[in-house]
Amino acid sequence: MIESLVVDLWYQVEEQTVVMVRYGELFLKSEPVKRHFIGLLIRNIRRSLDAEGLSFRYETPRGRILIYGEEPLKIASEVSRIFGVVDVSVATITGNTPKELMNAAGTLGRNNLKAGMRFAIRAKRQKGTGGPDSQELGRVIGGVLLDDQPAAIVDLRHPTYEVFVEARENGGFVYDHRLTAPGGLPFGTQGNALGLISAGIDSPVASWMMMKRGCGMVHLNMDAGKWAGGATADGAVENHRRLSLWVKGFPLRMLVVDSSPLYDAMSRGFPQRYICVICKRFMFRVAEKLMAGEHAQVIVTGENLGQVASQTLSNLAVISSAVSVPVIRPLVTYDKGEIVTVARRIGTFNQNPGDLCCRAVPAMPSTGANLAEVIAAEEKIDIDLLIAGATERIRVFTALNGEITIHDKPE
């Protein structure tokens, strides 16, 4: 009794506001795995808030992370970009009696519920707390809001305004916003992948999707020099930089390799129709060579089924056969419009990307490459030597919290 009194008093006097973090899929894990994943999730939250200079402390009651700090709105906004988090609310902490919950919900209603708005109270009462059941609690609190704003309309099916009320053993939480976070798994729980990244729209989305599932990414970009449009090199760096904003506090590496000698070699007496497929096979082989040094287990690309000539099913098979490591193509079944929607949401979409045109693309690229012919064409230009040359000098672009630093990779 004394204990619960102390807790209530402490909540009311010390801390009125908390950032309530919900995580989703971790629930499916066994206890030890869950504990490990939550530990990494908290590490990632800490890195991100430290990067923004936001001081905080936290608690981990069942199924939640509660974060206390002086700037709850900023904390909530940062945490809503952390992989593994499903949603985030800034909640008022009260006692768990109906009266206290009513008061807190009433304050939110007075500030935000306007005439004509359709609203709902979503009340949940944990077992073991006294008072009316969840449904009755919701009804009573709805009545309080209606008393203050009689021109509002209760609509439990399609409300435009919702107040969430939770009566828990140690206190109550009341809030009216849920910031949607990316979901997925905590960054760093699934090992590393090497992501082929370009200045385009697709590859940063593919990389983001892997990070969302907990993968550490190392990016690899081929700089085609004069064979690429003028905005290409900067565009790839910009995609890489923007992705680093999703893993604040963690340095994200991008290896950049000069691929222009490949296009020089393919420009003379070469079966032009195979240029695109061989370009991709070259990228895959360079990636395969660099993977071990980056502790990466798979290659990731933004390739898609049927988007361009090199992406027919048979060409994708010929491209994959260049390497013996697994290749993951998260976007293979997505329509372009669907990819653009994600790119906009995650902040990698560039409305005016500038000239990204590849000068090496032939007029009629093959849509059904013959593997034996492809291998014969590669031998003609001594592709092994070109791959060895490309991996001799590598520049590393490290992005940390959206800031880039560049250095040469030591041999």
Number of residue whose CB is nearest ligand ATP: 200
Cβ atoms of residues 26 and 79 within 8 Å: no
Mark 249-279 as b/e (b = at least 16 C-beta within 10 Å). Answer: bbebbbbbbbbbebbebbeeeebbbbbbbbb
Contact status: 202 vs Mg ion (CB under 5 A): yes
Phi/psi at 275 (nearest 5 deg)?
-55, -45
The residue (of 121 and 210) whose beta carbon lies closer to Mg ion is 210
By the rule CB under 6 A, 278 interacts with ligand ATP: no
Distance spanning both ends of the chain, measured CA to CA: 67
Q: How far is CA 75 from CA 37, 62, 147, 356, in A?
A: 21, 21, 34, 37
Q: Is there binding between residue 201 and ligand ATP (CB under 6 A)?
A: yes
Question: At closest approach, how far in Å is the CB of 202 from Mg ion?
Answer: 4
- The pair of three-digit structure tokens given for residue 241, joined into one six-digit string: 């930089």
Q: Which does 221 bind (CB under 5 to 8 A by kind): ligand ATP, Mg ion, none?
A: ligand ATP
Q: Looking at beta carbons only, is 100 or 202 nearer to Mg ion? A: 202
User: Strand, coil or helix: what is 339?
Assistant: helix
Which residues touch 3 (CB under 8 Å, ≥6 apart)? none
Sole binder of ligand ATP in the list 303, 319, 343, 378 (CB under 6 A) = 303
Q: Is 302 in the site for ligand ATP (CB under 6 A)?
A: yes
Residue whose entry in the numeric block shows the structure tokens 């206890």: 31
Q: Which does 283 bind (CB under 5 to 8 A by kind): ligand ATP, Mg ion, none?
A: ligand ATP
When the beta carbons of 96 and 221 are compared against ligand ATP, the nearer one is 221
Selection from 68, 56, 140, 39 nearest residue 98 by Cα: 140
Site string for ligand ATP, 122-141 (x = CB under 6 A): --------------------
User: How many residues form the binding site for ligand ATP (CB under 6 A)?
Assistant: 15
Which part of the chain contacts Mg ion (CB under 5 A), choosing from 65-73, 195-203, 251-259, 276-284?
A: 195-203
The verdict on 195 binding Mg ion (CB under 5 A) reads: no
Quote the least distance from Cβ 34 to ligand ATP, whole Å: 33
139 vs 120: CA distance, rounded Å: 9
List contacts with ligand ATP (CB under 6 A).
196-198, 200-203, 220-222, 283, 301-303, 308
List contacts with Mg ion (CB under 5 A).
202
